[in-house]
Structure 1
Amino acid sequence: MDSIAAVTTLGALAQSTRLEAFRLLVHHEPNGLPAGAAARLLGVPQNTLSAHLNVLAQAGLVVSHRDGRQVIYRAALGRLRELTLFLLQDCCGGRRELAEPLMAELSALTCSSSSTACR
């Protein structure tokens, strides 16, 4: 990932509804959610969420596919991984003692066996 892509991706997440929508989709991996269900869970009008999902899709953070009359949205976890690696690539100026607490915290995340959502 280059700096321009990182800025675009971060910009897409820099709005509360979009951030919550992305987090909701991450929580519902690998199956994703229909747009209407996501709108109900977030308490926003479906057309408003659709506009937010379009921004996230343009940034590469969500993917969608049609299932009958529904559009199913999923988090693009590969893009999240790229962004995370980009941000951590030069973490702490190469100083291991500064990076170790962050790495320990990341390693301590626990993921449920029924989903990829971690806490």
Structure 2
Amino acid sequence: MEMNIAIKALAALAQETRLTIFRALVQAGESGLSAGQLAKELNIPNATLSFHLKELSHAELIIARQESRFIFYSANFATMNKLLSYLTENCCAGTSCNTIDVCCDEKSS
């Protein structure tokens, strides 16, 4: 993943409502949720939801699909995994970080 794409994704998630929407879509899995379900479950007005969905979509963090007269949104797990890989690719000097002791120096606490 290129740095500018990672920055765009992180910027989209750096807002409370968008992060809440994204987390709800991750929890919903590949089937996703309709815009109406999201608005109801998260108590977000439709116009506000639409704005935030657009921002997440432009950051390629969500995917929209139309079924009948409804639009369903789901997390773009490929982009999410690329972002996670980008953020951790140099973790712990390239060694496995299975325990906190590997990554964190207790002296710095």
TM over 0.5: yes
The 5 A counterparts of 1:42-53 are 42-53=42-53
| Cα shift readout 1:40-83 (whole Å, capped 9, x = no counterpart) | 11111011011101100000100001111111101000101000
Match in the other structure for 1:113: none
Q: Rg: which structure is higher?
A: 2
Structure with greater proportional helix content: 2
| Amino acid in the other structure paired with 1:100 | N
TM-score, normalised by the number of residues in structure 1: 0.79
The 5 A counterparts of 1:69-88 are 69-88=69-88
1:86 Cα deviation from its structure 2 partner: 0.3
- C-alpha root-mean-square deviation of aligned residues, in Å? 1.2
TM-score, normalised by the number of residues in structure 2: 0.86
SS in 2 for 1:100: coil
Query: Structure 2: which 5+ runs fail to align?
Result: 101-109
The 5 A counterparts of 1:25-44 are 25-44=25-44
